Protein backbone atom coordinates (compact mmCIF):
# COMPACT_ATOMS: atom_id res chain seq x y z
CA UNK A 1 0.00 0.00 0.00
CA UNK A 2 1.34 3.40 -0.90
CA UNK A 3 0.94 6.48 1.25
CA UNK A 4 0.75 9.99 -0.07
CA UNK A 5 2.43 12.49 2.12
CA UNK A 6 -0.37 15.09 1.81
CA UNK A 7 -3.17 12.68 2.96
CA UNK A 8 -3.81 12.50 6.70
CA UNK A 9 -3.38 9.06 8.13
CA UNK A 10 -5.22 7.58 11.04
CA UNK A 11 -4.34 4.52 12.97
CA UNK A 12 -6.50 1.41 13.08
CA UNK A 13 -7.27 1.92 16.77
CA UNK A 14 -8.41 5.51 16.18
CA UNK A 15 -10.60 4.49 13.22
CA UNK A 16 -12.18 1.72 15.29
CA UNK A 17 -12.89 4.17 18.12
CA UNK A 18 -14.58 6.60 15.69
CA UNK A 19 -16.81 3.86 14.25
CA UNK A 20 -17.73 2.64 17.75
CA UNK A 21 -18.68 6.22 18.70
CA UNK A 22 -20.82 6.63 15.56
CA UNK A 23 -22.55 3.30 16.18
CA UNK A 24 -23.21 4.27 19.81
CA UNK A 25 -24.80 7.56 18.72
CA UNK A 26 -26.92 5.71 16.16
CA UNK A 27 -28.14 3.18 18.75
CA UNK A 28 -28.88 5.95 21.26
CA UNK A 29 -30.84 7.94 18.67
CA UNK A 30 -32.83 4.85 17.64
CA UNK A 31 -33.57 4.04 21.27
CA UNK A 32 -34.77 7.58 22.02
CA UNK A 33 -37.06 7.61 18.99
CA UNK A 34 -38.58 4.28 20.01
CA UNK A 35 -39.34 5.43 23.56
CA UNK A 36 -40.75 8.88 22.88
CA UNK A 37 -44.50 8.98 23.49
CA UNK A 38 -46.67 9.70 20.51
CA UNK A 39 -47.52 13.33 20.65
CA UNK A 40 -50.93 14.30 19.40
CA UNK A 41 -50.81 17.46 17.37
CA UNK A 42 -53.17 19.97 18.88
CA UNK A 43 -55.88 20.64 16.36
CA UNK A 44 -56.22 24.30 15.51
CA UNK A 45 -59.45 26.24 15.45
CA UNK A 46 -59.17 26.12 11.66
CA UNK A 47 -59.04 22.31 11.77
CA UNK A 48 -62.15 22.18 13.96
CA UNK A 49 -63.97 24.73 11.81
CA UNK A 50 -63.14 22.80 8.63
CA UNK A 51 -64.44 19.57 10.21
CA UNK A 52 -67.65 21.29 11.33
CA UNK A 53 -68.18 23.00 7.98
CA UNK A 54 -67.27 20.19 5.58
CA UNK A 55 -67.28 16.88 7.46
CA UNK A 56 -67.34 14.81 4.27
CA UNK A 57 -63.80 15.94 3.43
CA UNK A 58 -62.51 16.03 7.03
CA UNK A 59 -63.62 12.65 8.41
CA UNK A 60 -60.07 11.90 9.58
CA UNK A 61 -60.03 15.09 11.65
CA UNK A 62 -63.38 14.20 13.20
CA UNK A 63 -61.97 10.80 14.16
CA UNK A 64 -58.96 12.48 15.82
CA UNK A 65 -61.20 14.80 17.82
CA UNK A 66 -62.60 11.94 19.88
CA UNK A 67 -59.12 10.80 20.97
CA UNK A 68 -58.55 13.89 23.11
CA UNK A 69 -61.05 15.13 25.70
CA UNK A 70 -59.94 18.77 25.38
CA UNK A 71 -60.33 18.73 21.59
CA UNK A 72 -63.71 17.00 21.89
CA UNK A 73 -64.88 19.69 24.30
CA UNK A 74 -63.70 22.45 21.94
CA UNK A 75 -65.43 20.77 19.00
CA UNK A 76 -68.68 20.35 20.96
CA UNK A 77 -68.65 24.05 21.86
CA UNK A 78 -68.03 24.96 18.22
CA UNK A 79 -70.83 22.68 16.99
CA UNK A 80 -73.25 24.10 19.54
CA UNK A 81 -72.44 27.62 18.41
CA UNK A 82 -72.75 26.78 14.71
CA UNK A 83 -75.70 24.40 14.85
CA UNK A 84 -79.00 25.44 13.40
CA UNK A 85 -80.74 22.97 15.72
CA UNK A 86 -79.57 21.03 18.76
CA UNK A 87 -80.92 18.14 20.77
CA UNK A 88 -79.10 17.71 24.08
CA UNK A 89 -78.84 14.46 25.97
CA UNK A 90 -82.16 13.06 27.14
CA UNK A 91 -83.44 11.81 30.47
CA UNK A 92 -82.72 8.10 30.88
CA UNK A 93 -85.22 5.94 29.04
CA UNK A 94 -87.02 3.00 30.60
CA UNK A 95 -85.90 0.54 27.92
CA UNK A 96 -82.69 0.11 25.97
CA UNK A 97 -84.41 0.49 22.60
CA UNK A 98 -86.12 3.77 21.80
CA UNK A 99 -88.08 4.47 18.67
CA UNK A 100 -88.31 8.23 19.08
CA UNK A 101 -86.24 11.03 20.60
CA UNK A 102 -88.15 14.23 21.08
CA UNK A 103 -86.57 17.63 21.47
CA UNK A 104 -87.50 21.29 21.55
CA UNK A 105 -86.11 21.98 18.07
CA UNK A 106 -86.40 18.63 16.31
CA UNK A 107 -87.46 15.02 16.82
CA UNK A 108 -85.64 11.92 15.70
CA UNK A 109 -87.41 8.69 14.84
CA UNK A 110 -85.80 5.37 13.94
CA UNK A 111 -87.79 2.80 11.96
CA UNK A 112 -86.58 -0.59 10.80
CA UNK A 113 -87.20 -1.36 7.15
CA UNK A 114 -90.35 -3.39 6.52
CA UNK A 115 -88.25 -5.68 4.30
CA UNK A 116 -86.26 -6.86 7.34
CA UNK A 117 -83.06 -6.34 5.37
CA UNK A 118 -81.16 -4.61 8.17
CA UNK A 119 -81.84 -1.14 6.86
CA UNK A 120 -83.22 1.55 9.14
CA UNK A 121 -84.76 4.89 8.36
CA UNK A 122 -83.74 7.84 10.50
CA UNK A 123 -86.47 10.44 10.24
CA UNK A 124 -85.74 13.99 11.34
CA UNK A 125 -88.73 16.24 12.01
CA UNK A 126 -87.75 19.87 12.40
CA UNK A 127 -90.26 21.93 14.38
CA UNK A 128 -89.50 25.38 12.96
CA UNK A 129 -87.58 25.79 9.72
CA UNK A 130 -85.03 28.55 9.22
CA UNK A 131 -83.71 30.02 6.00
CA UNK A 132 -80.51 28.01 6.33
CA UNK A 133 -80.67 24.60 4.65
CA UNK A 134 -79.60 21.78 6.98
CA UNK A 135 -76.74 19.73 5.53
CA UNK A 136 -75.57 17.32 8.25
CA UNK A 137 -76.70 15.62 11.41
CA UNK A 138 -73.79 15.48 13.85
CA UNK A 139 -73.93 13.30 16.90
CA UNK A 140 -71.73 12.77 19.92
CA UNK A 141 -71.81 9.30 21.44
CA UNK A 142 -69.24 8.17 24.03
CA UNK A 143 -67.13 11.29 23.28
CA UNK A 144 -66.86 10.35 19.61
CA UNK A 145 -68.25 12.65 16.95
CA UNK A 146 -69.79 11.38 13.75
CA UNK A 147 -72.10 12.79 11.14
CA UNK A 148 -74.62 11.81 8.52
CA UNK A 149 -75.34 13.83 5.39
CA UNK A 150 -79.00 14.77 5.32
CA UNK A 151 -81.36 14.39 2.42
CA UNK A 152 -83.28 17.46 1.38
CA UNK A 153 -85.87 18.71 3.84
CA UNK A 154 -89.52 18.69 2.70
CA UNK A 155 -92.17 20.16 5.00
CA UNK A 156 -89.71 20.01 7.88
CA UNK A 157 -88.86 16.32 7.37
CA UNK A 158 -85.63 14.69 6.23
CA UNK A 159 -85.19 10.94 5.96
CA UNK A 160 -81.91 9.02 5.79
CA UNK A 161 -81.47 5.29 5.29
CA UNK A 162 -78.69 3.67 7.36
CA UNK A 163 -77.48 0.10 7.79
CA UNK A 164 -78.04 -1.86 10.98
CA UNK A 165 -74.37 -1.44 11.96
CA UNK A 166 -74.34 2.33 11.57
CA UNK A 167 -73.07 4.10 14.69
CA UNK A 168 -76.02 6.49 14.67
CA UNK A 169 -78.29 3.64 15.83
CA UNK A 170 -76.28 3.17 19.03
CA UNK A 171 -76.22 6.93 19.54
CA UNK A 172 -79.97 7.15 18.97
CA UNK A 173 -80.57 4.52 21.68
CA UNK A 174 -78.24 6.20 24.18
CA UNK A 175 -80.00 8.97 26.13
CA UNK A 176 -76.61 10.59 26.86
CA UNK A 177 -75.91 11.16 23.14
CA UNK A 178 -76.24 14.68 21.72
CA UNK A 179 -77.38 15.59 18.21
CA UNK A 180 -76.72 18.74 16.20
CA UNK A 181 -78.06 19.78 12.81
CA UNK A 182 -75.94 22.13 10.77
pLDDT for 63-113, tens place per residue? 888 888 888 889 989 998 999 999 999 876 545 567 899 999 999 999 998
70 part of a folded domain: no
120 part of a folded domain: yes
- Per DSSP, the chain holds a count of helices (H) and strands (E) of 5, 8
How many domains would you assign to the chain? 1
pTM: 0.71
* C-alpha–C-alpha distance, residues 45 and 65, integer Å: 12
78 part of a folded domain: no
CA distances from 100 to 107, 122, 164 (A): 7, 10, 17
77 part of a folded domain: no
* Higher pLDDT pick, 68 / 152: 152
Amino acid sequence: MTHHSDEPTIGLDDATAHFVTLETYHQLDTSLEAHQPDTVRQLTFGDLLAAATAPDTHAETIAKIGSNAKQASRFAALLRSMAIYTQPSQAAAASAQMDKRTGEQFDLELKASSRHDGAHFLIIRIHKLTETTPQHLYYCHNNNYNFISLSSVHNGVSQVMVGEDNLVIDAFNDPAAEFFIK
